[in-house]
Amino acid sequence: MVILHTFTKIRKYMLVQKFGGTSVGSAERIKEVARLIHTGQPKIVVLSAMSGTTNSLVEIAGYLYKKNHEGANEAILNLEEKYHTVIDELFESDAYKAKGRELIQSHFTYIKAFTQDMFTLFEEKAILAQGELLSTALMHYYLSEQHIDSVLVPALNFMRTDKDGEPDLFYIKENLQREIENNPGHHIYVTQGYISRNAFGEIDNLKRGGSDYSASLIGAAIQAEEIQIWTDIDGMHNNDPRVVDNTHPIATLSFDEAAELAYFGAKILHPASVQPAKIANIPVRLKNTMQPEAAGTLIGNKSEGKGIKAIAAKDDITAIKIKSGRMLLAHGFMRKVFEIFETYKTSIDMITTSEVAVSVTIDDTRYLNDIVEELKKYGTVEVDQNLSIVCVVGDFIAESKGYALKIFQALENISIRMISYGGSKHNVSLLVNTADKKEALVSLNQNLFEHV
């Protein structure tokens, strides 16, 4: 009871700070993050793998699946080499350099062992976990070399998904609480993003980009004061900065607006990560490691400012149209159509209907052929690829008048394939050819943000 009480007291002002791959992408970046977290406020620091590492591990696993041991060995040695450089630059003393080398040796010996054996999904997950295990151990060592107290909390001791592959919040909460209570009185708890165990206790992960999700789950589990997601951009921008000039960070967003933007293309935040924070009502702050003084974006339960806030775009969209004059009016038709997508675990992003046809979009085309074959039972099916969803996000209740006009005026010269409006009060989605995306984003930017 006494211990629980202490925990309750700690968590009241505990922060979660997550640093992405580029933020810990070199020895120099790791040192910078160490400075940023050394503030005296109790916190859980969640780290991604150093940038490039997870991609290399995916590549290594790919070679091993194909039994290309030569390719695997070469990729493993290249990655190992990179870590040796990091060790040389990160640590000052010979003692820590030696500790670092030992760490690398143990992880790479583990990876190399898989080149001998059978290779399955389980081995792949175990290999992918090495990136976050390495980055967090390096941070922990660096902090201790700098005489900054920290505790390394293994995510594999508390992060877990259930039999449906969804995070097991109860388990996470109980076990994370225990990990912290077993190590009371520290200010910095360092743990791995992305990696988890599945319902069988095997090593698994929360899918690519999943460290944000880890941070949000951890924040919800400890009722953190705030969840901070540190990356290399100064917050969520009002348009895609890779495509459009003159974008600016948005100061505040509601959870719903942030979820729409993350889902429809804003790369800064993993879409699933909004939900746990929203349910626990914990603010999420997006910050820039390269410019720590910049305000960033604050995501919370209220949205300040009305009207249109931002535009995002998501590529690699496939549209499927099912035409069936005969069936469509009959009730139960939609259910049958959706059931096919459900069977193939393929989620639908946009949907529009008319008397004779229903069109949907998907981004996961792994089962496209099977889906199309089954849909043919109900009518003629057309498939269209190389499309992008352009999504305009904001708070459309208060001042919804006139916005549709501005949006369509901006897209005057662009052929719009589908429109979805009204599904939520935060989003208007438009489907365009990917070849037209840039023009659409630039023109929307001018009409919605520049000439107001």
Instruction: Note the residues at the interface with ligand ASP (CB under 6 A).
Output: 20-21, 48-49, 54, 131, 193-194, 208-211
Name which of 167 and 209 has its Cβ closer to ligand ASP: 209
Total residues interacting with Mg ion, rule: CB under 5 A = 2
Nearest Cα to Cα of residue 150 among 163, 162, 136: 136
Q: Answer yes or no whether residue 131 interacts with Mg ion by CB under 5 A.
A: no
208: partner contacted, choices ligand ASP, Mg ion, none (Cβ within 5-8 A by kind) = ligand ASP
Span of 19-27, 165-173, 184-192, 240-248 interacting with Mg ion by CB under 5 A:
19-27
Report, in Å, the least distance between residue 23 CB and Mg ion: 10
Q: Answer yes or no whether residue 271 interacts with Mg ion by CB under 5 A.
A: no
C-alpha 134/C-alpha 145 separation (Å) is: 16
Report, in Å, the least distance between residue 287 CB and ligand ASP: 16
Compute CA 422 distance to the chain's CA centroid, rounded to the nearest angstrom.
Answer: 26
Report, in Å, the least distance between residue 167 CB and ligand ASP: 15
Report, in Å, the least distance between residue 131 CB and Mg ion: 13
From residue 186 to residue 225, the character string flagging contacts with Mg ion as x (rule: CB under 5 A) and all else as - is -----------------------x----------------
Report, in Å, the least distance between residue 411 CB and ligand ASP: 33
Span of 17-25, 121-129, 321-329, 392-400 interacting with Mg ion by CB under 5 A:
17-25
Q: Are 268 and 230 in contact (CB under 8 A)?
A: no
C-alpha 194/C-alpha 211 separation (Å) is: 4
Span of 15-23, 31-39, 329-337, 340-348 interacting with Mg ion by CB under 5 A:
15-23
Find the distance separating the first CA and the last CA of the chain, reported in whole Å. 58
Match 């010269």 to its residue by tokens: 413
Q: Answer yes or no whether residue 235 interacts with Mg ion by CB under 5 A.
A: no
Compute, in degrees rounded to 10, the torsion defined by CA atoms 225, 230, 235, 239.
Answer: -130
Q: Answer yes or no whether residue 300 interacts with Mg ion by CB under 5 A.
A: no
300: partner contacted, choices ligand ASP, Mg ion, none (Cβ within 5-8 A by kind) = none
Q: Are 178 and 172 in contact (CB under 8 A)?
A: no
Report, in Å, the least distance between residue 215 CB and ligand ASP: 9
Question: Which residues have C-beta within 8 Å of that of residue 114, sequence separation ≥ 6?
Answer: 64, 123, 126, 127
Q: Are 136 and 190 in contact (CB under 8 A)?
A: yes
For 297-326, give the secondary structure using H, E and C.
EEEECCCCCCEEEEEEEEEEEEEEEEECHH
| Position of minimal CB gap to Mg ion | 209
Distances from the Cα of 375 to the Cα of 151, 316, 325, 352, angstroms: 54, 21, 14, 16
Name which of 194 and 264 has its Cβ closer to ligand ASP: 194
Beta strand ranges found along 6-104 (DSSP E): 15-19, 43-47
Length of the chain in terms of residues written: 452
Report, in Å, the least distance between residue 346 CB and ligand ASP: 21
Contact set with Mg ion (CB under 5 A) = 20, 209
